[in-house]
Structure formats: C-alpha cells, structure tokens
Amino acid sequence: MTKLSLLVVSAIAAIAGLASAECDATNTASGSTIPITDGAVCLPQGAGSYTFVMTTGLYATGLPGTSATPTSGYFGILDNTCKILGWYAQPGCGIPYTIKDNFLQDVLTVDTVSFDVGSPFFAFTYGNGKFSIGNNGCVCGETQQSTAIDVEKACRCAFPVSGVVAKREVEFAA
C-alpha cells in the first residue's frame, strides 16, 4: 500500500469515527426516594415499566416590559412508582443522544426533541420500540409548577424496562 493510499484510508477511518461518535447524556440524579406526584410528569405504572419524561418552561422575570426566560430542557427516567432513577440535562453535542445507565436493559436514544413550551415534543427508541408524543399513550401537559406568569410543561411516556414491545401494545394516533 502506498503512503497516499494509507493516508486516504486513515482519513476515511477518522471521518467514519466522527460520524459514529455518540452523544451521551449524563445522569445527575442524587438518588431521590420520594415519588413525583405531579400527573403531568409521571403516573404510577405496573411492574416492568419506566417513564421517560421531559420538562421545559418559560419563566417571566416579573418586571413590566421584560421578556420571559426559557429554560433548558431536562429529561428523566422514573421507575414504576415515579421515583427518579436518572435525571439528565440536554447534552450540547446535538441529536441524537443516548442514555446508558445500569438500570436500563438497553440504550435509550432520543431521536427528536423540541423544547418549545407551546408545542413540546420528543421521540425516542428503546429496545425494539419507538415512542413519541401522540403515540403509545405519550402525552404533554402543564405541570403543577405553572402559574399565571410562569409556564412549565412536561411530556411523559411509559416504556417497558425489558425493551420488548409486542405489536398489539403499540398504539398510533390517527
């Protein structure tokens, strides 16, 4: 192999490595054992289910003539009793990004996200399932933290811990 061929092969390998680099979200949960009781964030599920949740908000400063301040979006994974297993800030490396934690049996990949308070949305894959707002019982709503001048929304979606979704379990919006 010539030096030029070796250089081309090395460059292609380097570019392929960059294209396949993963963007991982880091768990910042501190081990809370108190369940979340806000139904917009989580509803208790049966054994074998977790809830993936996203929160976003728009907060007014309270001063006339000033604009509201959007927050960065956050994600969480809650157990079947709505206790936090993992809490993640949006990584700065772009979409898609992955969540890998010991309590997950597979990699959770966030494929699409919008933190727009007016129409928040996410889609993720886990195991053999694809989950998105408007399908599979995944919904968004205002949290108990919302007030007349501050709006906080949460989107939630239950998914099987095993990652296996039977065809008859999948529901699609019309």
Q: Which of 131, 129, 20 is nearest to 75 (CA)?
A: 131
Q: Which DSSP string corresponds to 108-128?
A: EEEEEEE--TTS-EEEEEETT
- The answer to whether residue 87 is domain-embedded is yes
Cα dihedral value 74, 118, 142, 131, nearest 10? -60
- The answer to whether residue 17 is domain-embedded is no
Domain that holds residue 139: 23-169
- Band of residue 62 on the pLDDT scale cut at 50, 70, 90: low
What is the share, in percent, of the chain residues with pLDDT greater than 70?
Answer: 72
Q: Is 155 buried (19+), middle (13-18) or exposed (0-12) by CB count in 10 A?
A: buried
Q: Which of 26-35, 99-108, 127-136 has the lowest mean pLDDT?
A: 26-35
Q: Tell me, what's the pLDDT at 11? A: 35
pTM for the complete prediction? 0.77
Whether residue 139 has pLDDT greater than 60: yes
- The answer to whether residue 99 is domain-embedded is yes
Which whole-number Å values give the CA distances from 169 to 55, 130, 158, 164, 165, in the listed order?
A: 26, 12, 12, 10, 6
- The answer to whether residue 4 is domain-embedded is no
Backbone dihedral region for residue 81 (phi beyond 0: left; psi -120 to 50: alpha; all else: beta): alpha
- The answer to whether residue 14 is domain-embedded is no
Report residue 30 as tokens: 């501190």
Q: What is the pLDDT of residues 69-114, one digit of tens each?
A: 666 688 999 999 999 999 998 888 889 999 999 999 999 999 999 9
Mean predicted lDDT score pLDDT of the chain:
79
Q: How many domains does the chain have?
A: 1
